[in-house]
């Protein structure tokens, strides 16, 4: 039996740069994709002692649909619930551009420091097909921007590829250390 975390594709898989397709009818097929996304994220997290599986886009399990899931509680690793956003669209970016670290389940062991808006407004459908609107700020705003980038074929490393001092690696004791662009590139494309 294949571990669910093995469903997650990583760079250099070119599918991660494909634009995802809009979901027109929320069917059992999409519900299975959502269940696989949740299971893959939790399985990945179980293998990573210093990390939390915060969110995932369907394309990260090689399903080209405009679906993202986001952890309901970022502070509690024992809470395995996620919020589901179908056809998510950022309708407004606002606030300051703030720099912080980001990682990605599809970029093994490499982190980056990049700027994102501190506030966003999101419109999407929930699992029942109902329109939902979210005002987010801080870390949640960053996560939303990261995941919406995924469904548009953009990886966080694409934002910082011209900034050689923006790449980091997580040490075994859970600390981030700066690495060269060449080391990051070698890690990403191994």
User: Side-chain half-sphere of 44: how many Cα atoms within 13 Å?
Assistant: 26
Neighbours of 174 (CB within 10 A): 10
Catalytic site includes residue 147: yes
Catalytic residue among 45, 99, 137, 147: 147
Let me know: does 118 contact 141? Beta carbons within 8 Å. yes
The DSSP code for 20 is: P
For 6, phi and psi rounded to 5 degrees? -75, -10
Torsion of CA 105, 129, 138, 164, to 10 degrees: 40
Question: Rounded to an integer, what distance in angstroms lies between the CA atom of residue 172 and that of residue 91?
Answer: 39
Name the strand (E) or helix (H) holding 88.
strand 82-104
| Residues taking part in catalysis | 147
């Amino acid at each position: 039996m294949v571990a669910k975390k093995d469903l997650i594709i990583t760079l250099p898989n070119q599918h991660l740069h494909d634009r995802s397709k809009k979901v027109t009818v929320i069917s059992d097929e999409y519900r299975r994709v959502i269940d696989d996304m949740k299971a893959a994220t939790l399985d990945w997290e179980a293998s990573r002692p210093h990390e939390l599986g915060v969110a995932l886009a369907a394309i990260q399990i090689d399903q080209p649909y405009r679906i993202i899931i986001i952890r309901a509680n970022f502070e509690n690793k024992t809470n395995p619930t996620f919020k589901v956003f179908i056809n998510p669209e950022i309708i407004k970016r606002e606030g300051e551009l703030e720099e912080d670290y980001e990682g990605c389940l599809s970029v093994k062991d490499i982190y980056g420091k990049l700027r994102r808006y501190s506030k966003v407004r999101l419109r999407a459908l929930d699992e029942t097909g109902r329109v939902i609107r979210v005002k987010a700020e801080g870390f949640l705003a960053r996560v939303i921007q990261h995941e919406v980038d995924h469904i548009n074929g953009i990886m966080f490393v694409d934002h910082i590829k011209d900034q050689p001092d923006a790449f980091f690696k997580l040490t075994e004791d859970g600390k981030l250390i700066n690495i060269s662009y060449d080391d990051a590139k070698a890690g990403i494309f191994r």
